[in-house]
Structure 1
Amino acid sequence: MRYRFVLGAVVVGVPLLLAVLGPPFAGEPGPRGMSFVPGDGHWLGTDFVGRDVWHQVLHGGRPVVVTALTATALAYAVAVPLGLLAALTHRRALEELLMRPLDVLLAVPSLLLILLVSAVFEPGAAGLAVLVAVVNIPDAARIVRAAAAQSAARPAVEALRMQGETWWRMAVGHVARSTLRTLAADAGVRLTGVLYLVATAAFLGVGVAPDAADWAVMVDRNRTGLALQPWAVVVPALLIVALTTGSNLLFDAALDKPATERERQQ
């Protein structure tokens, strides 16, 4: 429905605009001081060490958004070819070689794996994005394979194979199109899960400095003083929630579009 798209665009647009335009327009922070209520040059007051909360909010969105979007894109960049290859191959051994290692990785709790790796290495924002992408690849690849398997078994694909068409034409030109609606449904849920992992990792101090301007770090850093200074916790938490909720509304609106005749045939 159109109203769902508009609502999703508005909800997700606020944190995205803050993430994109916040740092350039943040300017200089207000003078340090202990002001737990808006005023004295601090629109949202100050945090527990006297830093301007509004200034932190403007700077804190970009790390969360960039890391989450990068991790999601990396996960699909690997998972989609793997899933399509597993669905299109007629070699059982190759399919097992592709999918069974992913099943082993899927059995390990995502956050536990991130914490274990971060205990050995010290990942920055880029390293955190790669780690989150890696733990999302197995599940995404299985979904792609399941969505593509039925289309890959249809006579049209068999005809293309008998004509000697390339794997690329069969996978991208035919089979991949049948998975688009499934991937759209999965993307909203996956982005929510990625945001959860990124925010939780930042909350635990993985991939970001303890005093970084980051929405998740702000929640962690100020949660003990929630009763005195709620804005330092509530505002970044609501912005993270808006990202996940708005993204799902947008993907749901995309799924409301009726399937084309070609998609129904596939």
Structure 2
Amino acid sequence: MTLPSATHAITQNIPSRRSGLGRLARRHPVVLIGGGLLIGLIIVAVTAPVFAGDPAAMDPFKRLRPPSAESWFGSDNLGRDVFARTIFGARISLLVGLLSAACAALGGLVIGVLAGYIRAFDNIMMRVMDGLMSIPTILLAIALISLTGPGLGILVIAIAIPETPAVARLVRSVVLSVRERPYVEAALCGGARLPKVLWRHILPSTIPALMVQSATVCASAILTEAALSFLGVGVPPEIPSWGNMIANSRLYLAIAPLTIFAPGIGLAVTVLAVNLLGDGLRDMFDPRSKRRR
């Protein structure tokens, strides 16, 4: 290919990418809004040390100060910058939410695929999943954390375990509907081995449902982390988290309302972004919505 023709091909790709983004905005604006909000929150959380200051710095002479040019959201009861702690709190919530969703999705995918295809495994694992689903998430997380002590790793595990059964049951239902389709039976009749059939024909069919369910798990994990931190069994108190910020500042609501409103608004916006993304992905992958268009 000559240089002019290569340049022409590149310039043709740019409008096509723009038209693809415009098509996504027209057909699925909720995905664009939710994904944009979530990406923006992740960027803010990652770049927090650049502009947010030190969330652990205390100054007893600046306790419960109102918002100012030096401290945009004021200070808490220990003289710490509420703005810095709110921005750094986004790191904990997003990290716990994304890691919990990833662990629950991976565990639920493995269990759901095996349970949906191997009937002997199905009878055992679904009874175990039913038992886990009967236990409230908060109580199970508190029980696990009380055995090992608070920490980020155990918090992720404690949230992911109760969320895994819902993912496993969803994946299992998809596998049960796909395993009877002609192309799967044709692959088995052609001599394909079971791992290859699972990898090439079964797993791709579970991805859309898994993505939607992962968004739901992520939003639930963020709320669960905030609730556990509020109760004092989440991340350690020295780590800024929206849950422990609300818990520490609830007695000073009348004096310094931003100490509660700032982390509360951050929590609400984050959960809203994840839920919007999940709802948009559900509409995007729903065949009935495609037929309506």
The one-letter amino acid of 1:22's match is A
TM-score (norm. length: structure 2): 0.80
Flag the 1:14–1:121 CA change in 2: closer, same or farther, 3 A. Answer: same
| SS of equivalent residue, structure 2 residue 47 | helix
Q: Which of 248, 264, 275 is equivalent to 1:237?
A: 264
Superposition deviation, residue 122 in structure 1? 0.6
The one-letter amino acid of 1:16's match is I
Contact 1:79 1:144 in 2 (8 A): yes
Q: Tell me what 1:107 maps to.
A: 134
Counterpart mapping for 1:163-178 below 5 A = 163-178=190-205
Superposition deviation, residue 74 in structure 1? 0.7
Q: Which of 55, 59, 64 is equivalent to 2:88?
A: 59
Contact 1:132 1:197 in 2 (8 A): yes
Q: Tell me what 2:34 maps to.
A: 8
Contact 1:211 1:217 in 2 (8 A): no
Superposition deviation, residue 24 in structure 1? 3.8
The question of 1:250 aligning with 2:277 is answered: yes
Flag the 1:97–1:12 CA change in 2: closer, same or farther, 3 A. Answer: same
Q: Tell me what 1:70 maps to.
A: 99
Q: Aligned partners of 2:280, 2:165: CA distance in 1, in Å?
A: 26
Contact 1:35 1:46 in 2 (8 A): yes
| SS of equivalent residue, structure 1 residue 241 | helix
Q: Tell me what 2:43 maps to.
A: 17
Counterpart mapping for 1:43-192 below 5 A = 43-89=72-118, 92-192=119-219
Q: Which moved more, 1:216-225 or 1:11-20?
A: 11-20
The question of 1:38 aligning with 2:64 is answered: no
Superposition deviation, residue 222 in structure 1? 0.8
Flag the 1:229–1:55 CA change in 2: closer, same or farther, 3 A. Answer: same
Q: Which moved more, 1:116-125 or 1:250-259?
A: 250-259
| SS of equivalent residue, structure 2 residue 276 | helix
C-alpha distance after superposition, 1:194-252 (max 9, x if no partner) = 11111111111223122431122111111221222111111111111111111122233
C-alpha distance after superposition, 1:89-126 (max 9, x if no partner) = 2xx32221222112111111111111112222214101
Superposition deviation, residue 128 in structure 1? 0.6
Contact 1:12 1:245 in 2 (8 A): no
Q: Aligned partners of 2:49, 2:166: CA distance in 1, in Å?
A: 35
Flag the 1:115–1:238 CA change in 2: closer, same or farther, 3 A. Answer: same
Contact 2:208 2:285 in 1 (8 A): no
| SS of equivalent residue, structure 1 residue 257 | helix
Q: Aligned partners of 1:259, 1:207: CA distance in 2, in Å?
A: 36
Unmatched 5+ stretches in structure 1: none
RMSD value, Cα: 2.3
The one-letter amino acid of 1:154's match is R
Superposition deviation, residue 43 in structure 1? 1.3
Contact 1:34 1:47 in 2 (8 A): yes
Rg: which structure is higher? 2
Unmatched 5+ stretches in structure 2: 1-26
Contact 2:226 2:241 in 1 (8 A): no
Q: Greater RCO between the two (CA within 8 Å, min separation 6)? A: 1
Contact 1:34 1:48 in 2 (8 A): yes
Q: Aligned partners of 2:285, 2:53: CA distance in 1, in Å?
A: 46
The question of 1:27 aligning with 2:43 is answered: no
